[in-house]
Structure 1
């Protein structure tokens, strides 16, 4: 049901790469380019700035602390706080004189967790008081620690199973997972049967008994200088691994059923042909399917772009996001507020992602409006503040801001629509590609539906 995503063509990638990275924050106002083409031209020019005389106040005349009489009255801390638009955890904590880390810990959040308006967070221990009786649970942790594994960056289910001496199929069964399941750092994965927890030593014994069968393979690895199997580390490439182990790249690809476009991850195990550890080849490590493919419509995207897309997809999968119906309402409301025809904005959102905030394309087009990071930088300039494309409201704001600017600077609406898909500069200089014409027709049809 989903159609082509934004920035699907090489031309768009090139125009996106031409965008410079956002400049550091400046205290003085700066002009906002009228179009993407103007933004590209402006960023290629050498900026000059004049220095201004600055008056300094002697440090000795500045008070080291705020007098008590001028300190703001501390607001009472509510047990539960409902997130409003523009809130951050640190800002909410500061408002009530709380420690940001304590608020994060109380709500089992991290510094990278995305929050959204309407979400409720706990600010007071009184909110967790009813759960206090559950405190004895940590006392049972000695058993739980032997049965639960906390996922770390680079972990795979197969590696976790091997680390704890259990079968991968058992890990799937205990956690309700499968070969296509996605895990993320901080997730708890059961590595032992909960039913067997009281008699932990007994059930653990069978996997331990199997360990000797695997033990010969483990010490054998250092002998042939790591040949037989290899665990991928950050920064590795398939060609580098092959050269380091003195084997042909084609042999490594064939032994692991990989291709030149396959994405590899830290922690993934590879079979190195020609090594002495032949048993590992009899149980090849399953190749994990990436969250975002590396190609779309016959075009292969750069590895760095696809890698960023997979990271953003993982973050969105792990974060709470509004439903499709909620995103539809957010798009319409944002368009009305920004002076854009809601039916036009809804048509773009439906065509790009089907109102799915978790959508990410191989070109690293993010969220409901499928905005690539460089276009997000331009959108941030247009609205006058930094936009986070992973945030559902900011994502829609970025998309609507771009639509509004394209409508203002294009010779007609069809060219504005084409500019969102192919890139305004490309459309103005080359004209519309055939698939761009189909995209314009689809947007116009959706617009009539939402009118």
Structure 2
């Protein structure tokens, strides 16, 4: 999303502090295949070892960059490390992840906070969990979950609601619907603001702030806080679109497909990007002032205008879609693969060429390629 790329001075790369390169299990090593969303710190936590041990064992030169499908040697399952045994209290519970579960689901079930589950397992809010993973829960019990939930409600009032994700939902759409920020929903639900939502997923919707400064468009995206001027412009655009009549999601979907065909762009690719960016919601506006169905920032709009030979109004649905599509066309012609074109749309092609894909860019590209196959 050309839309929400932090400036080069603050690249969204996960920094991992390396621990001493010593193994913490004694049962030998086995092969692990890296899955989408994995980080070395999460893999190390799952297998009771350290990032340093994995780096040393596998000869990894860039600990912040591991790719889905890559094979790593990890300590063999079955024998816990001495450090893990010392740090896990007797009250800890081990939960085996089931399909569809998230960290927030698990925390709610055991009546503990999302942050405590993340800390207990050496995970980040951006980490993914998979069916079969074992998650340590400290200080809660499955039987006490309802009691803890009721107690929290009594002490804090109606601080949050839950929302079950339906087809077409996006965080920006839900933020506008409930009058809260995208980052507020992400924090409350223990997910990243850039995460792809799954149908059936349960999100926590925080209570809307009573402050006069509250606004559905926050000031932070993917851990980066945008300048006040950019956020102010984004909020103005949000307010304009909130009052306008805009095409429905199904109309936006049809518009994206027809515009892509007209400009020689794969309609499925354009649809996948628009869906991931906004859920085909033209009222979506990000803290980076990425606007509309294709989430185009002003600089992207200027580039797209030069490509079509006229000024494009990003607040107009057809112009917004045209901007995103012609940028995709130009990126496709300037790169050797669809994956690089998609990375350029999200991170900026110059940045991709100079720095390579950031970790969140690789996840974004994988998501888009998967979505394209469903369109």
Sort the TM-score into its range (normalised by shorter chain).
Answer: 0.3 to 0.5
Q: With the length of structure 2 as denominator, give the TM-score of the two structures.
A: 0.46
| Higher Cα Rg, which structure | 1
Bigger relative contact order, structure 1 or 2 (CA pairs below 8 A, ≥6 apart): 1
